[in-house]
Amino acid sequence: MGGASAGRGFGRSPGAPPRVPQRLLASAMAEDQRGKAATLALRRRLLSCSRAPGKTSPSGGPLSGPGAGQTVTQEGTESPDESSSCRLFFPEDPIKIVRGQGQYMYDEQGAEYIDCINNVAHVGHCHPLVVQAAHEQNQLLNTNSRYLHDNIVDYAQRLSKTLPEKLCVFYFLNSGAYHGHLSSLIDISPYKFRDLDGQKEWVHVAPLPDTYRGPYREDHPNPAVAYASEVKRVVSSAQEKGRKIAAFFAESLPSVGGQIIPPAGYFPEVAGHIRRAGGVFVADEIQVGFGRVGKHFWAFQLQGEDFVPDIVTMGKSIGNGHPVACVATTQAVARAFEATGVEYFNTFGGSPVSCAVGLAVLDVLEKEQLQAHAACVGSFLMELLGQQKAKHPILGDVRGVGLFIGVDLIKDEATRMPATEEADYVVSRLKENYILLSTDGPGRNVLKFKPPMCFSLDNARHVVAKLDAILTDMEEKVRSCETLRLHS
């Protein structure tokens, strides 16, 4: 990690610890390193258990997850026969964050980082109105949803105002629940099941509607229809095997897929194929909902004003860090669920505190006009990144909407081969410059911007200036290596 104080030109908030005097810096840093090493060692001990001998996944890696007898340690710090299923950001030099405010995070030395990763702290880390709402309701009552309470009703009504009229039934939960803790959900997550037992015969995977790297690209006359025909093909092939179609699941903007922006009109076409086959369309808004895309409140609305999914899932940003999640659906789907006779209950979902928090998040979004802000700052950031693309050949594609932006790093323009190591290097250099950014996509080469919605124009300028400096320096280094090679 770099210096103990921020050393940056803007944004130090009131109440942030004062800068460490120069003469104390060395000992503070040594102390910091000792503290961090101790925390890491303790974390490793607490998370570790021995791996069951001989158990490996189909890909040859150790099995992990409940019951797999995993060893959980930190990547890069463990002995070679240990594995890690709990990952830290920047494992080679993890950060100990002790405080967050707005779009900033602070480590234990008071160094301030701009957070470009955290789409959960949607309206800003520790937003005072959200914290206050939780605190006030906590002082009154927190219990499950088996009693009448105004908060749950008010919250469902407020959410319904943001959605098409048909989506009028709400189930509250405390997690989006897909990170590999339920086998049923691992089974429908290709990036998970590919490392485990493989694809079940009742799961069918359609190609990602990626117009940069997929089969139908930016030069295709109608990529929306072309990618939707792929879904139709998948549906027909399942039906030929005697299978029925239950549902189509998609993130409205696939993030783990590499910050993909599906061509407009793709979802309505797909929904047509799916509904004709008897299935429902599920739009996952967990990373991209609540105004992040700027132009609309929900990312599925980018697909056409009239498009209405049958089910919308919400999480992460919904509670600004408080564990809230929600499934919104139609009366028809809700009635079909009810007809199974299975009760819906979730211990924490829909509690008065969760709903107070959810309501406060909606209030802040409105009061601070964060959706419009995301549109404005997002298009400014896209513009700046576009200028960088013209300057640095490694930037193959800049795509995004609002404050959901991906920068696709490539080895060369002809093959568009993912520049994975370079992306990793850029992210670690940005972190040295107190900017937190992550990569995503199957090639882990897409720089992924999804900051809290209060991310500012100044932040955008600052981050892009640092990115420019890092890329220029990288290119310089590559050039001098090549010169050295030529002369040797």
Ligand X SMILES: Cc1ncc(COP(=O)(O)O)c(C=O)c1O
- Judged by CB under 6 A, which stretch of 146-154, 282-290, 338-346, 380-388 contacts ligand X? 282-290
Tell me the three state secondary structure of residue 162: helix
Q: Which stretch binds ligand X (CB under 6 A): 164-172, 173-181, 460-468, 470-478?
A: 173-181
Q: DSSP E strands: which ranges in 221-323?
A: 247-251, 280-284, 311-314
| Residues in region 253-272 near ligand X by CB under 6 A | 255
The contacts found for 194-198 with CB under 8 angstroms, 24 or more apart, are 194/59, 195/57, 195/58, 195/59, 195/61, 196/57, 196/58, 196/63, 196/65, 197/58, 198/58
CA dist 67 and 52 (Å) reads 10
CB of 315 to ligand X, least distance (A): 5
| CA of residue 206 relative to chain centroid, distance | 21
- 439 forms part of the interface with ligand X (CB under 6 A): no
Q: Determine if 350 is a binding residue for ligand X (CB under 6 A).
A: no
Q: Which of 5, 252, 259, 287 binds ligand X (CB under 6 A)?
A: 287
Decide: 281 and 310 in contact? Cβ < 8 Å.
Answer: yes
CA distance 297 to 361: 13
- Which of residues 113, 170, 172, 178 is near ligand X by CB under 6 A? 178
Among residue numbers 366 through 395, which ones bind ligand X (CB under 6 A)?
Answer: none
User: CA 340 to CA 322: how far, in whole Å?
Assistant: 31
Q: Give the shortest CB-195-to-ligand X separation in angstroms.
A: 16
Nearest distance in Å: CB 351, ligand X: 16
Candidate segments 46-54, 209-217, 280-288, 295-303, binder of ligand X by CB under 6 A? 280-288
Distance, CA of 156 to CA of 99 (rounded, Å): 31
Q: From the list 124, 315, 349, 452, which residue makes contact with ligand X (rule: CB under 6 A)?
A: 315
* Nearer to ligand X among residue 84 and residue 255 (C-beta): 255
State how far the Cα of 445 lies from the Cα of 438, in Å rounded to an integer.
10
Q: Which is nearer to ligand X, 174 or 433 (CB)?
A: 174
DSSP-based three-state secondary structure for 321: coil
Stretch that binds ligand X, among 151-159, 175-183, 193-201, 418-426 (CB under 6 A): 175-183
179 interacts with ligand X by CB under 6 A = yes
Among 52, 97, 177, 238, binds ligand X (CB under 6 A): 177
Min dist. Cβ of residue 177 to ligand X (A): 4
176 binds ligand X per the rule CB under 6 A: yes
Task: Tell me the DSSP string of 24-48.
Answer: HHHHHHHHHHHHHHHHHHHHHHHH-
CA 443, distance to chain mean position in Å, is 16
Burial 17-35 (b: 16+ CB within 10 A, else e): bebbeeeeeeebbeebeee
284 counts as binding ligand X under rule CB under 6 A: yes
> Minimal distance in Å, beta carbon 191 to ligand X?
11
Residue 179 or 217: the one with the smaller Cβ distance to ligand X is: 179
Report the 3 state secondary structure along 173-238.
ECCCCCCCCCHHHHCCCHHHHCCCCCCCCCCCCCCCCCCCCCCCCCCCCCHHHHHHHHHHHHHHHH
Residue selected from 117, 196, 286, 324 as contacting ligand X according to rule CB under 6 A: 286
Quickly count: other Cβ atoms within 10 Å of residue 197's Cβ. 12
Convert residues 225-254 into a mask of x (bound to ligand X by CB under 6 A) and - (unbound): --------------------------x---
62 binds ligand X (CB under 6 A): no
Please choose, out of 10-18, 170-178, 392-400, 440-448, the segment that lies near ligand X by the rule CB under 6 A: 170-178
247-251: strand order across its sheet: 169-173, 325-329, 311-314, 280-284, 247-251
Q: Which residue is nearest to ligand X (CB)?
A: 176
Nearest to ligand X of 176, 443 (CB atom)? 176
**C-alpha distance from residue 354 to each of 133, 168, 177, 347, 358 (Å):** 10, 19, 17, 12, 6
Compute the least distance from the CB of residue 217 to ligand X, in Å: 24
- Residue 346 is a binding residue for ligand X (CB under 6 A): no
The piece of 2-10, 137-145, 169-177, 199-207 that touches ligand X (CB under 6 A) is: 169-177
Site residues (CB under 6 A) for ligand X, limited to 408-427: none
Give the residues lining the site for ligand X (CB under 6 A). Answer: 175-179, 251, 255, 284, 286-287, 315, 325
